[in-house]
Structure 1
């Protein structure tokens, strides 16, 4: 089996990062729900400690997002360069790879727009 092309590698990298970012956003939502639930509970001696831990986890997740966004932007730029290189080389990559790459570009741009 032939190794994956640079285009396929760049595509999978962008898709992985977009998926990772979506996972962090889902985690943020879950943490916010847990915090609200803990704020509403009373009488639990351990609730204050758990609340502090959840808030800390929420802040850590928020701090990771800018780094992931930057990685998406860099991977997107590299993927766009690979698509352009493929065009200049006469379309050496399979049409399936090019289609996946263009889909990944669209997903990454959508993700970046949602963030902004």
Structure 2
């Protein structure tokens, strides 16, 4: 079996990063809900400590999410370069790989647009 083409590898990177970004967004929502629930609760002797820890985790998740945009941009650039090389005949890729790559470009750009 031949090794995967550069287009296929770059496509996989973009799709993985887009999926990771979506999971970070879900995690932020869950953390905000936990913080709200903790804030409204009464009688917990560790409330202040737990609340501080949850807020710190939320801040760290937001920091990671901002760096994801940079990573997605870089991966998109590599994928577009690989697609261009394929069009010029310099890189081998199947028609299926090219179709997946074009879909990944759309998903990557959409993820960046939503983050803005």
TM-score computed with the length of structure 1 as normaliser: 0.96
Aligned partners of 2:85, 2:2: CA distance in 1, in Å? 20
Which residue of structure 2 lines up, in the alignment, with residue 38 of structure 1? 38
> Would you say how many aligned residue pairs link Structure 1 and Structure 2?
116
Instruction: Give secondary structure in 2 for the equivalent of 1:89.
Output: coil
The C-alpha deviation readout for 1:22-66, integer Å capped at 9, x for no partner, is: 111110000000000000001110111111110000000011112
Deviation at 1:92, TM superposition (A): 3.3
Answer yes or no: is 1:49 the counterpart of 2:45.
no
2:5 matched to which residue of 1? Answer: 5
Cα deviation digits, residues 79-105 of structure 1 (max 9, x gap): 001001000007731110000000000
When the two structures are superposed, what TM-score results if normalisation uses the length of structure 2? 0.96
**How large is the RMSD of aligned CA atoms in angstroms?**
1.1
The Cα shift of 1:17 comes to 0.5
- Tell me how far apart the structure 1 counterparts of residues 90 and 3 of structure 2 sit (CA, whole Å): 20
Per the alignment, do residues 63 and 71 of structure 1 end up closer, same or farther by CA in structure 2, a change over 3 Å counting?
same
Show structure 2 runs of 5+ residues with no match: none
For structure 1, list consecutive stretches of 5 or more residues without a partner in the other structure. none
In the aligned structure 1, how far is the partner of 2:92 from the partner of 2:33?
49
Local SS of the residue matching 1:93: coil
Structure-1 separation of matches of 2:7 and 2:81 = 9
* Matched residue, 2:104: 104
